Amino acid sequence: MTQMLNPEERRAALSKVVGDVDVALGLPNEAYLEADYFAEEKKKVFGASWAGVGFAKDLPEALWVQPIDFLGEPLILVRDRQDQVRVFYNVCRHRGMKLVEEPGKMNVIRCPYHSWSYDHGGALKITPHAGGPGNNICGRLEKDVTGLIEVRSHVFMGVIFVNLDGQAPAFKEANAKLLERWSEFADQPLTHTGEDSGFKLSLDTNWKLAVENYCESYHLPWVHPSLNSYSRLEDHYHIMQNDEPQASGAASQVTSQVTSQVTSQVTSQAFSGQGTLVYSPMLAEDGRRFPAFDALDAKWDKQAEYVALYPNVLLGVHKDHSFAIVIEPKGPNQSVEHIEIFYAKPEVAGADWQAMRAKNTAMWKLVFEEDVFVVEGMQKGRSASGFDGGVFAPAMDAPTHLFHRWAASKMLAE
């Protein structure tokens, strides 16, 4: 049975989501099931924001080019001659041929059709025979004008972000609050140690359910009993950063056990999640611990934070490693989580840390796999046509509601 709403019904349903947490409903079923809604999200939710599309570590050296498909858009991720990450549409300016099929280092980006060739800054090097055989000058073409179409991009915490519609404020401006919160981590070099520090999970679920589940600590005692043995529910606090000018009713949930840290500023990029006060770094068999990032405040000895940077990037920081998850939305009920772990110091890439790295990756893999049945289970539940989007437990679900409200308000925007 289709759960599609007409425009009026949709507006009414979304208006209930943007209310305060104690009266709000969750997003309607169509937001998880319908291709139409998904297509509109592409423009209003992803296109208008800074969305994660990949990892800088997948461009291992200058002149590397990686083709990707993001929400049906062919893009190339490029590391240019100056080592800067750039993103372009993967399409030739001539007749629209897709340029690159396979990743690799290439000296020039040559279109396989008529061999127009671009450098890694997108500029045309030559348009062979465009002015007739042996003549490479064509009146219509300006080498520097008819170059590849660049998409705004920015690298943060190892993730390549893009703003498809080109209208969002600059990344650093849009994310000023998170950059400030994590200023101690933001500019530190990250070490990625290769295949033993990443994995993928293909999920039969809508991308939003993966975000929602990440926002909350409420499920920890039930879904992650092993984590809860050292990181109990009462040691967690909420993190909420609105993108609206004024704090709302969701702004100060304080219970005896869970304290919320809430700030509210105008930013175009909202985030929410949780922190823990009792992070205890892993110990190797011989008693070593991973080396920590430089010059961290003492609070990070025990604290760690987990933030969903809307729309689709999930981040975690600890004093000795960080991780990033890019959720690739494949369709209304299909997503892939790309998970990569980064270390504070290059020496962790060495062989003597191999066992410890494997242990850390296995630990996170277990945690994220434990979440699979819930994000897929919520997807299944959404086929119940009588379900109204669900209610929020204000003390526990405020970060989750913040995401619903953000997603709903993007869809309500003209």
The residue type at 407? A
Query: Which of 110, 318, 405, 410 forms a contact with another protein (CB under 8 A)?
Result: 110
- The pair of structure tokens assigned to 131 is 């002015």
Exposure pattern of 244-272 as b/e (b: 16+ CB <10 Å)? beeeeebbebeeeebebebebeebbbbbb
Among 136, 228, 259, 334, interactor with another protein by CB under 8 A: 136
Residue 125 interacts, among another protein, Fe ion, ligand FES, none and using kind-specific CB cut-offs from 5 to 8 Å, with: another protein
- Measured in Å, how far apart are the chain's first and last C-alpha atoms? 28
Out of 7, 72, 133, 287, which residue is the one contacting another protein (CB under 8 A)? 133
User: Do the beta carbons of residue 58 and residue 85 sit within 8 Å?
Assistant: no
Phi and psi at residue 211, to the nearest 5° = -65, -50
139 binds, among another protein, ligand FES, Fe ion, none (CB under 5 to 8 A by kind): none
CB of 213 to Fe ion, least distance (A): 6
> Which positions touch ligand FES (CB under 6 A)?
92, 94-95, 97, 111, 113-114, 116
| Distance in Å, CB of 224 to Fe ion, minimum | 6
CB of 241 to Fe ion, least distance (A): 20
Q: Does 117 bind another protein (CB under 8 A)?
A: yes
The residue from 129, 289, 299, 380 that contacts another protein (CB under 8 A) is 129
Cβ proximity to ligand FES, 141 vs 251, nearer residue: 141
Indicate whether 103 belongs to the interface with another protein (CB under 8 A): no
Which partner, ligand FES, Fe ion, another protein, none, binds residue 354 by CB below 5 to 8 Å per kind? none
User: For residues 150 and 144, is the Cβ–Cβ distance under 8 A?
Assistant: no
Q: Tell me, letter by letter, the H, E, C secondary structure of 169-238.
A: CCHHHHCHHHHHHCHHHHCCCCECCCHHHEEEEEECCCHHHHHHHHHCCCCHHHHCHHHHHHCCHHHEEE
Contact 311, 159 (CB under 8 A): no
Q: Is 371 in the site for Fe ion (CB under 5 A)?
A: yes
Q: Is 216 among the residues that bind Fe ion (CB under 5 A)?
A: no
In the structure encoding, which two tokens stand for residue 303, read together? 């604290």
Binders of Fe ion in range 106-125 (CB under 5 A): none
Compute the residue count for the chain: 414
Q: Which does 293 bind (CB under 5 to 8 A by kind): Fe ion, another protein, ligand FES, none?
A: none
Q: Report cis status (omega within 30 of 0) of the bond before 311.
A: yes
Closest by Cα among 27, 50, 48 to 408: 27
By CB under 8 A, tell whether 131 contacts another protein: yes
Partner interacting with residue 110 (select from another protein, ligand FES, Fe ion, none; CB below 5-8 Å by kind): another protein
Residues near Fe ion (CB under 5 A)? 371
Residues near another protein (CB under 8 A)? 106-108, 110, 115, 117, 125-126, 128-129, 131, 133-137, 143
